[in-house]
Structure 1
Amino acid sequence: MPLQAVRPKILGFISEQASAWLVALVVLLAGCTLTGIVAWATHDLYQQQVRQRFQLLVNERYTRLQERFEDQEQRLNSLRRFFLNSQQVSREEFDGFTQPLLLRARAYAWAPRVFREQRSEFERQVSRDRGVDFVIRELNTAGELAPAPQRDEYVPVLYSQTQSLLGSPLGFDLLAQPLRRATLERAQKSGRLAVSQPMQLVGVEPAYAAGVLLVAPVSNQAGNDPPYGYVMAVISMRQLVADGLPKSPRDNLVMQIVDTSDVQQRVLYESNNVVADSPLVGARRLTLGDHVYALTLRPSKVFELANHSSLSAILIMGGLLSLLLSALLYVLVSQRQRALKLVEQRTVQLRLREQELRGAHGQLRSVLNAATQVAIIATDLRGVINTFNAGAEKMLGFTADQVVGKLTLESLHLATELEMRSAKLGVALGKRIPASQAMLVESPDSLHEAREWTLIREDGSPLNVNMLGTVLLDDHGLWVGHLAIYLDVTEQKRAYEALAARDRLLKKLSAHVPGGIFQFTLEPQDNWRFIYASDGMRDIYEIETGLLQQDAKRVFERIHPLDVERVRASVRLSALQLSHWREEYRVLLPQRGLRWIRGEATPEELPGGGTLWHGYVSDISDLKRVEEELRALSITDSLTGIHNRRYFQDRLRAEIARLNRTHGALSVIMLDIDHFKRINDKHGHAVGDAVLQELCARISQRLRRTDVFCRLGGEEFMVLCPTTDAEQAYSLATDLWQSLRTAPMDPVGVVTASFGVASWRGDEGVDGLLLRADSAVYVAKQAGRDRVEAERARA
């Protein structure tokens, strides 16, 4: 066919006769139009993204500042609770407690209330304690601290922990200055935290002087009396707000904080970076104590530079691409004719090459015959074999004369295997595939992959091979036949079957072993890996074995947080000492919850470094549960359900040992049911047991969570009261005595008991305490029963 008869189109739609300049102009206009549309859409998207980024920054900054304000409140409240829970706080205790609290606060201070008649004695006492003169002071007109004049009341700074290099203004009277006085009065009136108006702080470097005073009143534990002092946090707004935030040259936001309760609306803090020319603004409210602050956030120049628009870049790049594309099409169209001439020249050259290829065909056949370990078979489009190399003759037992031009590729395959493959391909591809083509058609899920087939030798015996099939094309790209390459895999298959049999045996053995069997390695780079994990490992940790072999750290994610570091340390110690590893630990499973696991393994050192363990793990949750039940039974009275004598004795010894170390109070209440033998004799032992159970139920309801209620035996009971003095224990015993007398028990009526109370003395042991409680019960019995008797005073 002459070349002039074929008129292809460039890119499928541009005729070769079209003017190159016209094509270039049309493409340029279309490209510029598309660039404009993309630029408009990009600009709109840019505006939305800028607003979203600004809102994210505003929310993050507001959250951080509010957390800092709340953190200062929590720290001051903890200092107030420290004073509330302490009868007296020394300076060393104050310094030790407040030193860790100094985070974004310039200072913490304690200022007690001192009245006019107490001033002299207070100053002398503090001077003696500190070793230097101490005077209650205030700021004079020159801004210096001077002795304060006589007033009805003072609140001087007694203790102070500060970060300031200028020291602490000890003795400074907070009532001498109106802003501080107003803050203390609001704190005293509300009983909660109070914040001062913006002020210049005393004893603080000028750079941090602008700030507020956060005050909390300290009252007695009852909370009904006026406060006897105040704890304070001296807060510099510069330190509280700016510390930890980006420096001004790199900050994306410009902040301003204004106290809304301030009549003058003074600015408490303001960033010194430059505000961007943007309408974006964010407003939030911060709370500190009893004040609300207005937080205003605007984008800075840094934010504006970091979020610049790419509109100009899109316009420039789009214009350049349009220009380049039009120039490319101009070149393609203008050189079309010259390309056709080059094609004619190449055609002549290809004909010469055809002759050379025919000569190479003979060489290729020699190469095919030289491949004696691989069967290479080629067919035409009908499937008739036209090439059968020496490797195929050796593998199948046929000669080339018996096969070439006489047999098809289908005749060499097992017929049933072809039919099964044909049916499977028909389902996958949605059309019928002839059995003669089944070995040559590729399924969608295995393109260009070797498949295993069964061939029939000349003697009729089967042969397992791997086959790779492909199409044969001529010089013009036309399909002329197929090429099949076969590789004998009989020995390889036998090896795979032996390995599979070994794996099945190992899996069967591990399935009958309770728990899980594993091989685990720890490599020098701290790489944890399971070489082998049986199916039991999946049941133990509720993790698939495949995932365990990919990442051993999944097991440590299942281990209880309180046990995981201990397990890691024991594994490393076993690797270091090559000692037997054994651990019991808890795991938290998604389905079964908390379980107890026991693991054992024997380590060995690997030649290339690292350690290999062979071991097993098993679930011991049932064993742990039985141990806990046995322990509970050993310390519980089976009839009443309360603790027994053994538990009481162990607990009493532990409490006395604790008191010998830390001091404190401890009391016991012993009670004996009055005339209990009459109840058993008159109503029977079943009713007597019911009376004991009802008595225990009534008393248990009246006890505190820290009290320990035990049955000593028969009708004798004991209540162990930690941190309880004699007066408190007597009051509790009276309450228990009343709970028995107020309501009768069916069918015996009112049941009474005799109570004896004793408190621990530092110079006696367990027997002395119990003897005094028993003596008090004896006195109650002798006095007519149904009463509470306290221990007798020491002679």
Structure 2
Amino acid sequence: MSNPGVPAKPLGLFGDELSAWGVALAALVAGALLTAALAMATQTFFKQQLRQRFELLASERYSRIVERFEEQELRLDGLRRFITYSSEVTPYAFDGYARPLLHRTQAYSWAPRVASGQRSAFEQRSSALLGQPYQIRDLDAQGRLQPAAMRDHYYPILYTQAASHEAQPYGFDLGGQAPRAAPLARAQARGSMAVSAPLDMINVQPTYTRGLLMVAPVFGDEASANGLPRGYVMALLSLHQLIAESLPTVADDNLVVRILDLSNEGGHEVLFDSGGPPARMGLASSHLLHLADHHYQLDIRPSQDFLLANQSSAVPVVALLGGLLSVLLALLLYSLFSQRQRALGLVARRTAELRVSEQSLRETHNQLRSVLDAATQVAIIATSLRGVIGTFNAGAERMLGYSASEALGQLRLEDLVLADELHQRAHALSQRFGREVGAGQAMFAETAQEGGAQPADWTLVRKDGSHLLANMLVTAVLDEQGLWVGYLAICIDVTERRRVHEALAARDRLLEKLSAEVPGGIYQYRLDADGHSCFPYASQGLHEIYEVDLAVLREDATAVFERIHPDDLERVRRSVRYSAEHLTPWREEYRVCLPQAGLRWVRGEATPEIGEHGSTLWHGYLTDISDLKRVEEELRALSVTDALTGIYNRRYFQERLRNELDRAQREGLDLAVIMLDIDHFKRINDQFGHAVGDHVLRSLCQRIAHRLRRTDVFCRLGGEEFMVLCPGSNAEQARVLAQELWRGVRSVPVEGVGRVTASFGVAGWRAGEGADALLLRADAGVYAAKQGGRDRVEGELLS
């Protein structure tokens, strides 16, 4: 159907009197102006790109140079620390450490401090170390080495490791020349590295004669007394070797690099020049380099190769293409306007064809009406721009109770929506858009403006006044020219779905309430076939047990296993795998390490079942049993401890003796026991009372326990009888220990009683012997001590 309200725009853009040549000329002039502007923009963009490429190359070259300077400082500092922490530095040790450092460095040397009074002894000792004559020397005016003049102290080169095969200047005193003495003084004052001004190095390759001397002081124990360093480690650097090595050659480099020394106020000496002429461009990059306590200026400019490698043909190409496009556009417009008359003839023929198409469209409309009526479960309603209903299918009749004749042209879409809800949404839209939105526009303004992609829930009013919850999707209806001519609303009854959702929500709330009241945590744990695991459901109690966000556990269970104590982790993983493989219930008790609660004990139980895609799903619970474990530990401690003395009781001794006998038999180890009985203990109880007797027992236990080794086991068998178990000791070693215990008991009187003595018996375990036989021999030793007058130690009796 056509739209009479919005006429189509005529095809012609100009009047009939405007010639095709005029239109073509105007297009040609506009294209030329646009091409010129685009060419200028392209040239500007190319210059920006060229600057960015240069700055990137310059930044990379600066970073590499800085890295090499820092590398030299680190190497020299490493050599300094090697000298500092070495009690004695031999030529072999110095060469072994310094040789790997000779990368982009001419030499590394060690110059110790030598006092004038120690010069002769130092020269003799150095000659013996180096295996050649050694003498402290200076450079004369001709650059030859000669014996050094008398000074308070010297810093002669003792060890050196150089890249050159020239003879090395052993004994050359660094303090004899001002250019070399200056960095020594700065390094001593600062306590850190210093670099000399550019100087001529001796005994190096001719290519690298001009360079720098970098020194670092080495302070020893005597530095605090006189403030002088123990000596200096030094590095000879040639910037030509340091910078140019591993960098592109002059023929291949796109940059011209120069490094200037800034220390000379009269002029800046060039320490490094990569060579090659710079390009005549306004591009340059300057940086300040730092080496120890010295600063150097780094100048980087592009080379001719850089300019050649970055030439651009974009501007002429843009001009050429722009011109061609302008000409083509002018020709195209000329062709279009010249063919206008022929197009009018084609329109007439096309009109006849459209009449045929209109008949076909009516047939299609009837088919569409049949389809709409067949959709009995969905309400399809079409309206005009004013909202008046123009299409009302059978599904709408069934859903809303109106017949098509009652709705078409009589009702608006807003008449079918609950009025209060429509006004509420209109008010919300008015606040959002900042302008008044009428109730009749609420559903169209909210849904159609956003493209109709998101449906919304509306409360519809049936003919009988009852309400219906529906999900409505509103889209715009366009004609053949793309003009907006109406709206299409598709409604689906979601009343039953809403009821199901509310029931599910109520069930979820009930489940959360029940799980909150259950001690511990209720959970579902899923282990996929690829090893990934997660908790599809976890109650709040699981957060209290593991102190992990439940949202994280729904995606990945790794955080739970990170909380398990390392000693228990493998056991837990193994039990989970076994439960998954055999589908048996999972039960475990293990420890967890929590950020806030610390170490806790957890007991878990779960029942597995086969899940989707080869996974295993457990349903179970976890509970904190830390208090139960603590009570168990306290009960166990009470079961093996003597209540009066605090040492182990007979039960623990028998258990420990059995274990030690098994270990001694299995590993062939020594084992011995010491039995002791307090002399005349009944007399003490009768004379002073049982309270004093208990005090005597506790006092003797404290003395003996202080003299025992950590591996010895001290137990009370009952009454005044005690036993010491000595793993790893033979009979003779146990006898020595018993003598020491005997002296400790009798040497200090007990308050209120006086001196208390004891009789000791010692027995060493014999291969194949049982516990009863071993204890019987120890008891025999105690009996022998008592028969011999008490207050003594009886060693092992031979049987």
Q: Same fold (TM over 0.5)?
A: yes
Q: What is aligned with 2:22?
A: 22
- Sort the Cα spacing of 1:431 and 1:569 in 2 relative to 1 into closer, same or farther, 3 A: farther
Q: Aligned residue for 1:361?
A: 365
Letter in 2 for 1:491: E
Matched residue type, 2:29 = L
Shift of 1:110: 1.0
Q: Map of 1:129-528 to 2, 5 A cutoff?
A: 132-133=131-132, 135=134, 157-160=157-160, 164=163, 172-175=170-173, 182-184=179-181, 186-188=183-185, 191=188, 193-196=193-196, 198=198, 211-218=211-218, 220-222=222-224, 224=226, 227=229, 229-242=231-244, 251-261=253-263, 267-272=270-275, 275-289=278-292, 291-305=294-308, 308=311, 310-379=314-383, 387-396=391-400, 409-428=413-432, 430-435=435-440, 438=443, 442=447, 444-445=449-450, 447-457=452-462, 461-472=466-477, 482-502=487-507, 504=509
Q: Secondary structure at the match of 1:467?
A: strand
**Secondary structure at 1:222 match in 2:** helix
**Kept in 2: contact 1:159–1:170 (CA 8 A):** no
* Alignment check: 8 A CA contact 2:137 2:145 kept: yes
d(CA) in 2 for partners of 1:577 and 1:209? 73
| Structure 1 stretch displaced more, 299-308 or 521-530 | 521-530
The residue that corresponds to 2:776 in the other structure is none
1:478-502 superposed Cα distances (whole Å, 9 cap, x missing partner): 7766543222223332343344445
Query: CA 1:8–1:186 in structure 2 vs 1: closer, same or farther (change >3 Å)?
Result: closer
Q: Give distance in 2, aligned partners of 1:212 and 1:110.
A: 16
Query: In 2 relative to 1, CA 271–383 (structure 1 residues): closer, same or farther, beyond 3 Å?
Result: closer
Structure 1 distance, partners of 2:254, 2:617, is 53
User: How far has the Cα of 1:312 moved from its partner?
Assistant: 3.5
Structure 1 counterpart SS, 2:213: strand
Aligned AA (1:172): Y
The answer as to whether partners of 1:385 and 1:405 remain within 8 angstroms in 2 is yes
Show CA shifts across 1:712-762 (max 9, x none).
xxxxxxxxxxxxxxxxxxxxxxxxxxxxxxxxxxxxxxxxxxxxxxxxxxx
Aligned to 1:486, the other structure's residue is in SS state: strand
How far apart, CA to CA, are the structure 2 residues paired with 1:169 and 1:574?
A: 70
Q: Deviations over 1:406-442 (max 9, x none)?
A: 6654554434333434444455553452449846873
When residues 311 and 529 of structure 1 are mapped into structure 2, their CA distance, relative to the original with a 3 A threshold, is: farther
Report how far residue 468 of structure 1 moved.
2.3
- Offset at residue 345 of structure 1 (A): 1.7
Query: Alpha-carbon deviation of 1:355?
Result: 1.1
The CA deviation string for residues 586-611 of structure 1, in whole angstroms up to 9 with x for no partner, is 69xxxxxxx98999898999976999
Please give the alpha-carbon distance, in whole angstroms, between the structure 1 residues aligned to 2:274 and 2:388. Answer: 88
Deviations 1:149-208 (A, max 9, x none): 68758755433456x4x57966623349987x7414651476254434546656766776
* Aligned 8 A contact 2:180 2:196 in 1: yes
- 1:345-391 per-residue CA deviation (whole Å, 9 max, x = no partner) reads 21111111111222233322222233233233345677665544343
Distance in structure 1 (CA, Å) of the matches to 2:249 and 2:567: 43
- Once residues 147 and 232 of structure 2 are traced to their aligned partners in structure 1, the CA distance between those partners, rounded to angstroms, is 21
- 2:280 counterpart SS class: coil
In structure 2, the CA distance between the partners of 1:504 and 1:472, relative to structure 1 (3 Å rule), is same
Distance 2:253 2:518 in 1: 63
Alignment of 1:720-739 (within 5 A): none
Quick one: which amino acid aligns to residue 458 of structure 2? W
Does the 8 Å CA contact 2:138/2:148 hold for their aligned counterparts? Answer: no
| Residues 353 and 280 of structure 1: CA distance in aligned 2, closer, same or farther (over 3 Å) | closer
8 A contact 2:418–2:461 mirrored in 1: yes
What is the letter of the counterpart of residue 183 of structure 1? Answer: R
Distance 2:165 2:529 in 1: 53
Give the distance between the partners of 1:172 and 1:97, measured in 2 at CA.
18
In 1, the alpha carbon distance for the partners of 2:379 and 2:166 equals 97
1:433-453 residue CA offsets vs partner (Å, 9 max, x unmatched): 244984687364564432222
**Separation in 2, partners of 1:401, 1:326:** 58
CA 1:51 to 1:401, structure 2 compared with 1: closer, same or farther past 3 Å?
Answer: closer
Deviation at 1:231, TM superposition (A): 0.9
What's the Cα RMSD here? 6.0
TM-score, structure 1 normalization: 0.57
Change (3 A) 1:7 1:400: closer
| Residues 563-593 of structure 1, C-alpha deviations (whole Å, 9 max, x = no match) | x999999999987985989664769xxxxxx
Offset, 1:257: 1.9
Structure 1 unmatched ranges of 5 or more: 1-5, 557-563, 588-594, 619-795
State the Cα deviation string for residues 252-279 of structure 1 (Å, max 9, x = none): 5311123345789654222145522224
Residue-by-residue CA offset, 1:112-149 (whole Å, 9 max, x unaligned): 3568986775566456557x5564599999x99x9976
Paired with 1:599 and 1:311, the residues of 2 have a C-alpha distance of: 76
Alignment partners' CA distance in 2, 1:381 and 1:135: 110
Q: Is the contact made by 1:372 and 1:390 (CA closer than 8 Å) also made in structure 2?
A: yes
Higher radius of gyration, 1 or 2: 2
Q: Which residue of 2 aligns with 1:635?
A: none
1:35 maps to amino acid: T
- Whether 1:111 aligns to 2:111 is yes
Whether the aligned pair in 2 keeps the contact of 1:134 and 1:171 (CA below 8 Å) is no
Identity of aligned residues (%): 43
Q: In structure 2, how many angstroms separate the alpha carbons of the residues matched to 1:234 and 1:420?
A: 85
Secondary structure of 1:31's aligned partner: helix
Moved more, 470-479 or 217-226: 470-479
User: How far is 1:522 from its partner?
Assistant: 10
Q: Which structure 2 residues correspond to residues 632-651 of structure 1 after superposition, within 5 A?
A: none
Distance 1:44 1:584, change over 3 A: same
- Where in structure 2 are there 5+ consecutive unaligned residues? 1-6, 578-587, 625-799
Q: Measure how far apart 1:466 and its partner are.
A: 1.7
Query: CA 1:494–1:18 in structure 2 vs 1: closer, same or farther (change >3 Å)?
Result: same
8 Å contact from structure 1 (residues 575, 611) kept in 2: no
Do 2:430 and 2:437's aligned partners in 1 also have CA atoms closer than 8 Å? yes
Matching residue of 2:667: none
Q: Hey, what's the Cα distance between the residues in 2 that align with 1:382 and 1:443?
A: 14
Q: Aligned pair in 2 of structure 1 residues 251, 404: CA closer, same or farther (>3 Å)?
A: same
Separation in 1 of the partners of 2:600 and 2:215? 55
Partner SS state of residue 280, structure 1: coil
Indicate conservation of the 8 Å contact 1:9/1:16, yes or no.
no
